[in-house]
Structure formats: C-alpha cells, structure tokens
C-alpha cells in the first residue's frame, strides 16, 4: 500500500475518500491487512504529510481509526476523545486538517458499548469527566423514542443516543465552523457519520 502524496491527495474526491475507508474496514473485518512497510512510510512522510481523511472517534481502546480502517502512516488525522464529543479545539483541529492540509472527508465515528455514552445515560458525575459527559446530554434530550428505562442498562436507548450524538456533532460542525461548512457546500469535502460495532469490527456509515 502506497503512502499518500500531494498528487494522490489532490486527485481524490470526497466520495473516493469514503470508498478507501470502506475498503479498509472490509480488509480489517476479513483480516486481510494491506501489505505496508511502516518504516518505509516513516521515510516517505518525513518531509510532509498528505492524509486524505479526518476521523473523530472515541478514546476507547477498541476503536483506533488506523486499525479499524486498515490505514498506515500519513493517511488519516485521528482525533480521539471520550464519546467523540466536539469542542472548539477539536473544531480548530478539523479546520486545520481540511482547509490547511486538504483532507477530503470528515468522519464522526461513534461506537457500540461506549462507556462515555453509557456514563452520560446514567448521569455519572466524576471530577472533570462530568463536564465532558454533559456534552452528550443534548443527544439524550433528543432521544424521544424511549419512554421507560432511559438509562445505560437499556441497550436500545444507548444505541439510539450513540447515533443521535454522532448526528448532532455533525450538525454542530456545520453550524459552528463556517470554514468547514463552506468546504462542504463547495463539494471539496464530505462530512459523514458512522458507528463502529465492537462485536463485529464493522463500521456502518450513515448514508443519507
């Protein structure tokens, strides 16, 4: 698998970038890792990086973007924070990754059995974690389907909140970053949500 160059990055469309991620996740699920010489990629990227994707995912030890999409060095900007929440520093990182460096796609990736989502559903309060989990409350508020057992032990409720959290995060990216919104409107980038299943290894993208 070749390291991305300025030419390969520039030639990619947002749709092709999504295809590359889908193909990588298929390889991961089928245990068919691409043949990649990471030490060679250290050399290839020593004077510059031309990644094609920016992925916001959880810190969960099972959800490393490079592993689950079978990517190498210099391929993706990986932003990771518990519950894949958004703040202005993360938005700034995304603006750098898209406007300055030229990645073609932003993926907001939730995952099943997310401890942060479960914690938020249970209204856990613990030190600085309290502030972080509060950022997931809008997703809980917007979950209108579940009338009983609105807590972390209700798997369906947790899954719904996980999906809504991803969708609300994407809405906030568009609303709070005019820079990114313009790139998307002009067709220079795509923003897409998805959920990683920790039981199957599969990423399901929200294609709507």
Q: To the nearest whole angstrom, how small is the minimum distance from the Cβ of residue 148 to Zn ion?
A: 25
Residue nearer to Zn ion on the CB measure, 105 or 114: 114
- Give every CB contact of residue 54 below 8 A, 6+ residues apart in sequence: 76, 77, 79, 94, 97, 98, 103, 105, 106, 107
Pairing of strands 76-80, 105-111: unpaired
Q: To the nearest whole angstrom, how small is the minimum distance from the Cβ of residue 59 to Zn ion?
A: 7
Which of 114-143 are b and which e, b meaning 16 or more Cβ less than 10 Å from the residue's Cβ? bebbbbbbeeeeeeeeeebbebbebbbeeb
| Helix (H/G/I), strand (E/B), else coil: 51 | coil
Q: To the nearest whole angstrom, how small is the minimum distance from the Cβ of residue 84 to Zn ion?
A: 7
Q: In whole angstroms, what is the distance from residue 122 CA to residue 92 CA?
A: 30
46, 54 contact by CB (below 8 A):
no
Residue nearer to Zn ion on the CB measure, 17 or 139: 139
Residue nearer to Zn ion on the CB measure, 108 or 180: 108
Residue nearer to Zn ion on the CB measure, 12 or 136: 136
Q: To the nearest whole angstrom, how small is the minimum distance from the Cβ of residue 75 to Zn ion?
A: 22
Residue nearer to Zn ion on the CB measure, 164 or 183: 164
Q: To the nearest whole angstrom, how small is the minimum distance from the Cβ of residue 129 to Zn ion?
A: 12
Q: Which residues bind Zn ion (CB under 5 A)?
A: 58, 60, 114, 116
Strand spans (E) along the chain: 53-57, 76-80, 105-111, 190-196, 203-205
Q: In whole angstroms, what is the distance from residue 142 CA to residue 161 CA?
A: 8
Q: To the nearest whole angstrom, how small is the minimum distance from the Cβ of residue 63 to Zn ion?
A: 7
Residue nearer to Zn ion on the CB measure, 114 or 166: 114
């Amino acid at each position: 698998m070749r390291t991305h160059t300025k030419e390969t990055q520039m030639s990619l469309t947002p749709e092709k970038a999504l295809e590359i991620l889908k193909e990588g996740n298929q390889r991961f699920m089928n245990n068919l890792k691409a043949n990649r010489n990471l030490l060679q990629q250290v050399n290839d990227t020593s004077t510059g990086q031309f990644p094609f994707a920016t992925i916001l995912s959880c810190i969960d030890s099972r959800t490393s973007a490079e592993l689950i999409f079978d990517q190498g060095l210099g391929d993706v900007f990986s932003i990771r924070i518990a519950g894949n929440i958004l703040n202005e520093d993360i938005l700034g990182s995304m603006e750098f990754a898209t406007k300055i460096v030229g990645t073609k796609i932003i993926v907001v990736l939730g995952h099943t059995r997310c401890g942060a989502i479960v914690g938020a559903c249970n209204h856990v309060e613990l030190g600085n974690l309290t502030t972080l989990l509060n950022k997931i409350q809008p997703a809980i508020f917007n979950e209108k389907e579940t009338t009983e057992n609105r807590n972390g032990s209700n798997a369906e409720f947790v899954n719904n909140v996980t999906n809504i959290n991803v969708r609300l995060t994407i809405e906030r990216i568009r609303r709070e970053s005019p820079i990114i919104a313009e790139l998307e409107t002009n067709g220079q980038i795509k923003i897409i949500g998805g959920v990683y299943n920790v039981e199957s290894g599969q990423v399901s993208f929200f294609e709507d």
